[in-house]
Amino acid sequence: MPGTPETPGSGNILAFDYGTRLIGVALGNRIAASARALTTLANGDWARLDTLVAEWRPERFVVGLPLALDGGEQSMTRAARDYAKALERRYRRAVVLVDERHTSAAAASRFAEQRASGAAKRKHGAAIDALAAQIILESWLADGASPTIRDPSPP
C-alpha cells in the first residue's frame, strides 16, 4: 500500500490466499525468486500469524485479490482488501494485491498431481489453500516482483 515502510534485508515475502474460513500462507524469497506453500491459518488467528511474521521477518506481503471472472469486484474482493489493510496496519509492511483469478483451479490441479505421484494424501486437502498462496506468490515473482501495488481494479 502506498507510503508503507518496507522492511529491508531478508527478501522474504509472505503471501496469502484469503478465505472467510481459512487463509493459505506461502513463503517466498524475492532474491531467490522462489516460493513454497507454508501453512493454512484459521481466519482471525492473528497469534499464529504473529509467530510466522516474527519467524520469517518478511519485507512485504502479497495478498491474492479474488476478482470475478470479468474482472469486477465481489464481496470476497472487498474482504481480501480489508485483510490486506489489516496486515498493513498490524505489521507496518507494504502489501501488494495480486489478481488471483484461476489460482484455486491451478492449486486443485497441482494437488491432484501431487496425490497421483504419492507426494500428498487426501487428508492433506487443507494444504490446497497454502498451495493457492504459493501460486499467487509465484505469479507475482514471475511478473518481476514489483514493490508497488499491482491492484488490477482499485475501488
Q: What is the bridge-based pairing of β-strands 60-65 and 34-42?
A: unpaired
What SS3 state is found at 58? coil
Q: Write the pLDDT tens digit of every residue in 70-82.
A: 777 889 899 999 9
Residue extents of the structural domains in the chain = 12-142
Contacts of 97 (CB under 8 A, 6+ apart): 62, 63, 64, 65, 80, 81, 84, 149, 150, 151, 152
The CATH number of domain 12-142 is 3.30.70.1290: no
C-alpha torsion sign, points 141, 22, 104, 88: negative
Residues of the chain falling short of pLDDT 50: 1-6, 123-124, 149-150, 152-155
Q: How much is the pLDDT for 5?
A: 44
